[in-house]
Chain A
């Protein structure tokens, strides 16, 4: 090839490449798939690469096992954990010392009787009511007996809605101050692995099996 033709050839290459390049970049915006394939959590303790697709493929794992506020068949896709479990918040259960549930307010001030909640207890019998979780056990659900979470949600929320009182069904944060992101992730990932005896556990030598990226 003569020098002149060589130059022309390169010009043509440059123009073709530029056109294809611009076309590819502008017409194919990298959109992230729903649901995600893999997720990378950047943390100060080493990144965590979470294979979302592989977890979805494990037989017996359902979306709801992790996206615990997501109802099967809902048209919307699950939202990210951070919308509820924020990095700067402190985990507070609805009950207990830090909880937002105010027993005194409910039993003394709102004009309710003990029996509205302690449904098998009558004040005139004396003594103390049994804790709800004695009968409504965590994680146990059957047709007859509501589980712990179901029992609380049903009772608290239905009374609020009947009385037009706050907080209602969709107002999670008024009862639950959201859990910290890290606690939420550790709680869920590690708890499931330990329950199933598969995947990295919470032991010290297992940290780097997640935090190695």
Chain B
């Protein structure tokens, strides 16, 4: 009999791409820069402050919790830094420092470490933190109010607010190309569609995130938005608009794909992503919230364990 090693693990199945967590974190961080750098260019030093403060405080929170709980120092895997970065990408450039620090506390301590650290979090930490903050200090994250003092060469109104309160015709002035190039207001790293797509494609090609999740999420957006649009083109903007506004792109490539809160089997991944996209549009078009991506992702995170029950039957095992 060959020299075999028996691994006893908690539950099946797992996905392993052969590289370490830290290299994965580094790569996602690098990919995110493609969207964050244009954001910092657009909003200046204020945005740099938010991003760096978020990364630093996320690492420090994890260090602190490592010390308090007397567990091995885990910040080396870069996951805390990554959470800080993703969280900052969703924030407006004017977020005050205390909100950033509170946010990373919710992300790292509440959403991740309390559930057992990396790999054990049921929800995407950055998304959970962002929703908690939005419910607590909604004013801070009203992009129209937050970015009042910036003057741009494009219409500086949060596109989703326009489509929600004024209907589809109000967003006609937004050319899809401009939206793709990030000529819209929003989160520091959420508006530059082209950067997010390039970063996402890189991560897919390197195998760090699953194309099944990204593409099915986008498909969910397109199909649901198209249905609404055909039903009432006056009221509901088309799929192109929904793809390129709000948190759609960052949601598809950076939020929904977070490992421990997303499924690992083929069919479940497709359902997971599609559900996220479709829910996003439902919330945007008929819900009360302006953007649905964050809530949609929390909901699919919640059903993720259920989805992963759909898996190939173990061969040889009697029914």
Contacts and interface: CB of A to CB of B under 8 A. Distances in A.
Interface of A: 1, 3, 6-7, 9-11, 13-18, 20-25, 27-28, 30, 32-33, 36-40, 46-47, 49, 53, 208-209, 212-213
Given A25-B49, A25-B97, A38 B56 contact: no
A212 B290 CA distance: 12
B52 A49 contact: no
B166 A40 contact: no
B144 A18 contact: no
Interface of B: 22-23, 44-46, 48-50, 52-57, 59-60, 63, 73, 75-78, 80-81, 94, 97, 144-145, 148-151, 156-157, 161, 165-166
Interface of A is mostly: helix
Which of A24, A33, A46, A49 has the largest count of B CB atoms less than 10 A from its CB?
A: A24
Contacts of B157: 49, 213
A6 B144 contact: no
Given A14-B81, A17-B53, 10 more contacts: A13-B55, A14-B55, A14-B60, A18-B53, A18-B60, A25-B49, A28-B49, A32-B149, A37-B150, A213-B157
B56 A17 contact: yes
B22 A1 contact: yes
Contact of A49 (B46, B144, B151): B144
Contacts of B48: 20, 24
8 contacts: A10-B78, A14-B60, A21-B50, A25-B53, A28-B44, A32-B148, A36-B148, A47-B144
Contacts of A10: 59, 75-76, 78, 80-81
A208 B167 CA distance: 11
A153 B149 CA distance: 37
Interface of B is mostly: helix
Contacts of A47: 144-145
Nearest to B47: A24
The 5 closest A-B CB pairs, nearest first, are A24-B49, A21-B53, A212-B165, A17-B56, A7-B76
A27 B45 CA distance: 10
B148 A7 contact: no
A30 B52 CA distance: 17
A213 B144 contact: yes
Nearest to B152: A37
A172 to B, nearest CB: 29
Nearest to A38: B148
A14 B59 contact: yes
Given A10-B59, A14-B55, A20-B52, A33 B149 contact: yes
B56 A18 contact: yes
Contacts of A46: 165
A208 B162 CA distance: 11
A20 B97 CA distance: 13
A39 B148 contact: yes
B125 to A, nearest CB: 17
Nearest to B55: A17
Given A30-B46, A38-B156, A21 B97 contact: yes
Nearest to A8: B76
B288 to A, nearest CB: 13
Contact of A13 (B59, B77, B97): B59
Given A20-B49, A30-B46, A49-B144, A7 B73 contact: yes
B49 A36 contact: no
